[in-house]
Amino acid sequence: MPEARKPISSDLNFVSIAGPEPVDLALIPPGPFTIGRRAHHSIVLQGDDHVSRDHATLVFEPTRSGAAQWAIRDAGSRHGTWLNGVRLEPARDYPIRLGDIVAISPWTFRVGVKDETRATHRTTVATVDDLAAVGAAIQRIDDDLPGALEHRRLGLLLDCAAAIHATTDADALAEAVLDAAMKGTGFANVALLRATGDESLVEGLGQRGDIVIDGASPRLSRSLIREAGLGLPARLVAAPSMDMEAVSIMQFAIEEALCVPLQVGAAVAGYLYFDNRGASEATRRSTDDSSEFAIGLGRLAAMAMANQMRMELDRRLARVEADLDAAAEAQRYILPRRSGRFGAFWYVGESRPGQRIGGDFFDVIPLRDGRLAVALGDVSGKGVPASVLVTATQGFLHAALLESGDPAQAANALNAYVNPRRPEDKFVTVWVGVIDAESGRLTYVNAGHGYALVRRSDGVIEAAAEEGGPPVGIVADLRYTPVTTVFSPGDRLIVYSDGVYEQPAAPERSGSGTRGPVRRFGEAGVRGCLAALGLQDDIVTGLFTALESFSGGPRLEDDATVVEVRR
């Protein structure tokens, strides 16, 4: 079978397939062709208020590939322009294709071609004037014929589904559902209710009729709502013998009521509540077959409610994500550049958060007389609270080191600052040191941190984490004692956080399919990595590469930070 020829843009026609008057417009470039009620438009649609004075425009526009295509643009019409069942956003171009259906009520148009059989290789079927041939008559279905009411209700459900699809908030949803409920049932009154978790109290989202009179509380059947709260529709019908609970409803002349639950997942999120108080006898008789319509309408409303709740949750999560991104960006902003050189020293530092924002920081600060301050901190916990404490701690420590140039004085001042401000469940471990190139000394304070090494120029690895005191902020008026060691040309200082030390290995399974014991990277992993690296290799990059290999991927369980300084 030969491939169907695809019509080019100039082959298209805009043809009415339903509507008060026929329309057949050849879309000949360059256009544009306007649509509306005014006499100067290319397509004039008069006689119906659903068409706006300036309703829509057909435009011929270029594409990214350099070709061109026809598109339709709504001009801000009151009742909308619909393309394949989707309402168009005003002032936005929507490309149209062969076979598309455009609705501008009460007209319906199809995008076609002059010789559609040749263009698409489809078969057309001729129609015959059977009325003239056999003398038959067409009978329109109205409300007096069998099946007419069911047909009308189906149309109402479909119309309501389209209206619900276009709603964006709870108020618009309530309006669409309540309008359909009044048209499709014989009940005189209807309310859309939201469940509150208390069967004696529901929230009204909207109503039709006199469920609420003169601002009084709604008069609703609690027993009916209780039954619907179990997840199935329930109906209340007057009986010759009534108990006292029923009398409380019957005194308001409510002889019949219906409650349809709105099921969202496993929970009943609301109700469609109908009753016939104040209705005529004829109206009451017409409610006998309303249940199926009401139940179908309730399902549509529940799906729309679930969709709106999901969209609201998506918007909420998007706001949280935006806030976390902003916090992470601010946190990255206060960290030093990944590498740099200050006088006799060269450094590399990197911090990777286990989540979006981390609880680690590092800092490298050039001081007077050619000295260099190095700090690494780790706040207990993760997330926003930890990041706030990180920011405050780093900022204060940076200023304290610039002012004193002494690691012990800076740590003491930081402890006094953090102690009255930290949450009860938060503390900060800090390693802070100052390297003096002239004296060849490294002086440091280890405030509960413990993860620092010096790799000597001959490859020997020594600890630089003698216990100096507890984490910062735990004990008021604490005085930290500094430790001094040699730091010669060719030596390299490596300080890292517990996220490096405690990183677990990729899960291992035994032959029985169970997980093996958890292995941690630990000090052995750090020392092994340092021993494997050459004397001139980038230790920070090497350690993170080893961590990724050990953990089975780039995603780390906790915040991990490494800073290296070489002389």
Domain annotation covers residue 401: yes
Tokens standing for residue 483? 């430790």
**Mean pLDDT across 537-542:** 92
Does the pLDDT at position 80 exceed 80?
Answer: yes
> Domain range holding 20?
9-123
Domain annotation covers residue 4: no
Domain annotation covers residue 556: yes
Reported as a pLDDT band with limits 50, 70 and 90, residue 128 is low
Residues 356 and 292 reside in one and the same domain: no
Domain annotation covers residue 140: no
The predicted pLDDT at position 525 comes to 92
Cα gap 36→53, rounded to integer Å: 5
Identify the CATH number of the domain in which residue 112 sits. Answer: 2.60.200.20
**Residue 184 near residue 293, CB atoms below 8 Å:** yes
Does the pLDDT at position 547 exceed 80?
Answer: yes
* Chain segment 282-297, per-residue pLDDT in tens: 555 445 567 888 888 8
Helix/strand number for the chain, H first, E second: 13, 27
Residues 497 and 348 reside in one and the same domain: yes
Residues 159 and 114 reside in one and the same domain: no
Domain annotation covers residue 562: yes
Continuous segment of H or E residues that includes residue 442: strand 441-447
Residues above pLDDT 70, as percent of the chain? 78
Give, as one character, the DSSP assignment of residue 31: -
Residues 282 and 429 reside in one and the same domain: no
Residues 113 and 153 reside in one and the same domain: no
* Chain segment 367-418, per-residue pLDDT in tens: 988 999 999 999 886 667 777 888 888 999 999 999 999 999 999 999 999 9
Residues 119 and 166 reside in one and the same domain: no
Domain annotation covers residue 326: no
* Chain segment 162-208, per-residue pLDDT in tens: 777 777 777 888 888 888 888 888 788 898 888 776 667 778 888 88
Domain annotation covers residue 137: no
Bigger pLDDT: 141 or 151?
151
* Chain segment 417-431, per-residue pLDDT in tens: 999 888 777 889 999
**Residue 187 near residue 287, CB atoms below 8 Å:** yes
Cα gap 407→410, rounded to integer Å: 5
Query: Global pTM?
Result: 0.53
Identify the CATH number of the domain in which residue 261 sits. Answer: 3.30.450.40
Tokens standing for residue 130? 């059977």
Residues 478 and 528 reside in one and the same domain: yes
Cα gap 336→411, rounded to integer Å: 20
Q: How many domains does the chain have?
A: 3
Residues 339 and 305 reside in one and the same domain: no
Reported as a pLDDT band with limits 50, 70 and 90, residue 484 is very high
Domain annotation covers residue 354: yes
Q: Report how far apart the first and last C-alpha atoms of the chain are (Å, whole number).
A: 78
The predicted pLDDT at position 241 comes to 46
Residues 229 and 114 reside in one and the same domain: no
- On average, the pLDDT of the chain sits at 81
